[in-house]
Amino acid sequence: MDIGIIVVTHGNLADALKSTLFSIVGEKKNFESLSIPTNFTLETLCQNLDSIIKKLSTQYIVIFTDILGGSACNASIFLCKNYKNVYIISGVNLYMLIASIHLRENSSLNNIEEYVQKVIEEAKKSICCVNSIFKNKF
């Protein structure tokens, strides 16, 4: 599927997620990050995010944000009203982004809604108590 990805978060987390992801899976096209500085205004944030959305000429866009209800998420929700093809996922972690790339490149999913649900499913599966998996080894 032709999906552009944007990671937008508080602080420098978005840039760190992108650089760490690229160190694992290699550099990817149509993948942008937007880290929000502490002295931001919601207006500037919306403008910057809108510029990135416009720059990506993909059929769909998925925005990955840090916290539901946080500034990054709220700006994304605000902008979504202007676009029919933008989806937002909260709670971004590294594995969610690895899955987003893998599924974008390799899956036979039929539509964007299936893609979003599969990315969420994979990200939730990545969260676990490691001790309980390896308890026989302790």
The three-point CA angle 10-83-85 to 5° equals 90
Question: Could you tell me the smallest distance in angstroms from the CB atom of residue 19 to its own copies?
Answer: 6
Among positions 11, 44, 105, 111, the unique one binding its own copies when judged by CB under 8 A:
11
Site for its own copies, residues 32 to 71, rule: CB under 8 A: 38, 65-68
Q: Is 100 in the site for its own copies (CB under 8 A)?
A: no
Among positions 4, 87, 100, 101, the unique one binding its own copies when judged by CB under 8 A:
87
Question: Could you tell me the smallest distance in angstroms from the CB atom of residue 64 to its own copies?
Answer: 10
Q: Determine phi and psi for 14, rounding to 5 degrees.
A: -60, -45
Under 8 Å CB-to-CB from 112, ≥6 apart: which residues? 1, 3, 60, 62, 85, 87
35 in Cβ contact with 56 (< 8 Å): no
Tokens of 124: 């939730």
Residues that bind its own copies (CB under 8 A): 9-13, 15-17, 19-20, 23-24, 38, 65-68, 73, 76-77, 80-81, 87-96, 98, 116-117, 120, 123-124, 126-131, 133-134, 137-138
